[in-house]
Amino acid sequence: DGKRMLTTPSYYAYIKIGEGCSNNCTYCAIPSIRGKYRSRTPESILEEAKTLVDGGVKELIVVAQDTTRYGEDLFGKCALPALLTSLSKI
């Protein structure tokens, strides 16, 4: 049915906000494995967060290979502060 199954304790969950990395550090294989950084849309993240909170989750942990780059590919600037503000209102 597409419903997410939590593998963490019921009070917290991870939300992936982006995938990949565009930094190309010489010591890291992430860009080769996962490709360039791609942010999820704020709408999809907030929808997932609301579903998790409605299911009893109290703590949301945002994750990505490079969280500080969130939104640069979508909006041309970092959008992490705005995303965190929106998440805090759920």
Cβ atoms within 10 Å of 83's Cβ, excluding its own: 22
52: which DSSP letter? H
Domain ranges for the chain, please list them.
12-88
- What's the CATH number of domain 12-88, 3.40.50.1390, 3.30.750.210, 3.40.50.720, 3.40.50.620? 3.30.750.210
Query: For residue 43, what pLDDT is reported?
Result: 98
Give the pLDDT of the chain (90 residues) as one tens digit per residue.
667 777 788 889 999 999 999 998 999 998 899 999 999 999 999 999 999 999 999 999 999 999 999 999 999 999 999 999 999 999
What is d(CA 3, CA 6) in angstroms, rounded to the nearest whole number? 10
Instruction: Note the pTM of the prediction, 2 decimals.
Output: 0.87
Q: Among 84, 1, 13, which residue's Cα sits nearest to residue 55? A: 13
31 phi and psi, to 5 degrees? -60, -35
What is d(CA 44, CA 26) in angstroms, rounded to the nearest whole number? 32
Query: For residue 1, what pLDDT is reported?
Result: 61
86 Cα distance to chain centroid: 13
